[in-house]
Each structure stands twice: as structure tokens, then as C-alpha cells.
Amino acid sequence: MPAPAQDILSQYSYYLKVERGLSENTFKAYTSDVQAFQAYLQGKAWKSVDAEDITNYLISISDLLSKRSQARILSSLNSFFDYLIKEGERTDNPASMVDSPKLGQYLPTVLSIEEVYAILDAARNPRDRAILELLYGCGLRVSELCSLKISQLYLDELFLKVKGKGSKERLVPMAESTAEAVSLYLSERNGSDARNEDTLFLNRFGSALSRVSVFNLVKDTALRAGVSKNISPHTFRHSFATHLIENGADLRVVQEMLGHESILTTEIYTHVDSATWQKEIKDIISDVLQR
């Protein structure tokens, strides 16, 4: 008979501290990572956890933690499931089948304007259209979108108030088309439970929409639109920033709109722009050489 989840965690903590002799900081990081994952599972047995559960969990926290932190969490889960195998609680390690987030600087996937329009037009209903409009038109993080309140919207004035990382607030302008999409959704919005009365986006049960739900919505809509790029909600934020800079927006203004603490974070989008025109030049040269 499998041991209760809490007993397993207690035994794992003892194993890390006593048998493996980990430092206090490492010990705390490993145990807190596993505890946070356990809370996410909402009672699902450790024996039933698969690679998809772990992938969805990493997606759900991807907008809150750095890739380095995500890689550490995956390492913690790898250690934990190896322990479960050692104790005879499992025969496999699902965490070993999940790719670790790539560290270091990278050029994010960016949608073309045409691809953005195609995805917006493929939205199944007013709610989905409003979600996609805000992700792209305001460059919101998925966590910001899911926690967005109706009271933070100023649709007549064409801006919204966003609470970002570290509870820092910023004002973000929106296009008329975005405001219209949100207004249409609000006119058809279903009722909510008492706790989510002011929450903008709800699921079919009247509760706040989860980050994983938004991720799946983006994937499904892109597929329906015929966009084959591997995208996530954050791709719209990347595309929003890149398109602004390509059209001459000041880097400091983009930094403010995105809520970046450091302008160095925003500068990645200048590299994306550079990569675009470099590819265009290479294509032109290639065409000339083939003639």
C-alpha cells in the first residue's frame, strides 16, 4: 500500500538532510519545490503523476520565475522521483522526460503582424478574442492577464492599470480594437462566484481563469489559424515589444509598458529586430547568387 503523500515528503526531507547531508539552503530549496508542486497537484497521488503534469506545472510558473529557477525546480523534482524509485513507490521518473529550460540569452519566437491577425480572427468566442487582444495589444504577462480586475480597466480612456512583478503598478495604453473586444466580452460575460466578482476572465465554472488554460487556448487558436510556430502566451508579449521597436518606439517607453525593472531586459527586442533584417539581407544575397 502506497505511503500517504505527507509521510513521503517527511521521509524525503529526512533523507535529504541526514542521508545525503545537503546544506541547509539546498535542503530547503528541494523540499519547498516539491511541496509547491504537491500543492499544485491538488491531491493527485505521486504514483499517478506523469511528465505532462510536470510540464503543465512549469508552464504555470514560467511567467513568475526565471529559467534558472525553473531549471532548479525540475532538478528538485528529478531528485524526488529518483527517491520514490529508490523507496519502491514508483518504477519510473517522469521528471527525467521533461526538457530543462534553456539558460542564457536567446532570441524569443516572434509572430509576424499577419500571424497575429490570423490568430485573433481564429478566436472561438468574444472571451478568447479579448484575451488574445490583451496579450498582444498590451503586452501583458499571462499572470497579469489572469489576475486582471474589471476595476483596473478604463475602456473609455483606452488604458488599463496592471499589477506586475513585485506588486508594482503600471499604466498601459490600449488600442480601440482591444477596448472594443473587451467591451464585447463584458457584455456577454457569465456570472462569477462571490470571490471572483471583479475578476475579468472566468472559466465556465465562474472561477478565475488559470495560466494553463490560457496556454492551451493560445496553442489551440494558433493551430486553428494555421500558425505552425511553437508559441505560448508570452509570444504575444515578445511580438508586441518587437513590433513597437520595429516601428520606432523608444526603448525606455517599451520598458515602461512591459514593466521591466532593467532596460537590459528590454534590449533583447533590439536583437530580435536585428536578427530579422540580417535574415532578410542573407535571403537577398542568396537570391542574387542563384541568378
Domain match, 80 and 119 both: no
Catalytic one among 67, 161, 163, 260? Answer: 260
Task: Tell me the pLDDT of the chain averaged across its residues.
Answer: 81
Q: Which pLDDT score, from 0 to 100, does residue 254 have?
A: 75
pLDDT tens per residue, range 185-234: 999 887 777 678 899 998 888 888 888 899 999 999 999 999 988 888 98
Catalytic one among 127, 141, 211, 243? Answer: 141
Domain match, 122 and 149 both: yes
Range of the domain at 142: 113-282
Active site residue 165: yes
Catalytic one among 90, 127, 234, 243? Answer: 234
Domain match, 81 and 194 both: no
- CA distances to 43, 93, 94 from 85, in Å: 20, 7, 11
3-state secondary structure of 129: helix
Please give the model's pTM, rounded to 2 decimal places: 0.59
Domain match, 157 and 15 both: no
3-state secondary structure of 259: coil
Q: Which of 275, 14, 60, 84 is nearest to 283 (CA)?
A: 275
Catalytic one among 30, 83, 136, 269? Answer: 269
- Per-residue cell: 168: 508594482
Q: Is residue 107 part of a domain?
A: no
Q: Structural domain tally of the chain?
A: 2
Active site residue 238: no
Catalytic one among 44, 47, 68, 165? Answer: 165
Query: What CATH number does the domain containing 83 carry?
Result: 1.10.150.130
Q: Which pLDDT score, from 0 to 100, does residue 281 have?
A: 33
Active site residue 68: no
What is the spatial distance between Cα 104 and Cα 101, in angstroms, rounded to a whole number?
10
3-state secondary structure of 73: helix
The phi, psi pair for 172, rounded to 5°, reads: -125, 125
Domain match, 130 and 259 both: yes
The phi, psi pair for 250, rounded to 5°, reads: -70, 135
Q: Is residue 291 part of a domain?
A: no
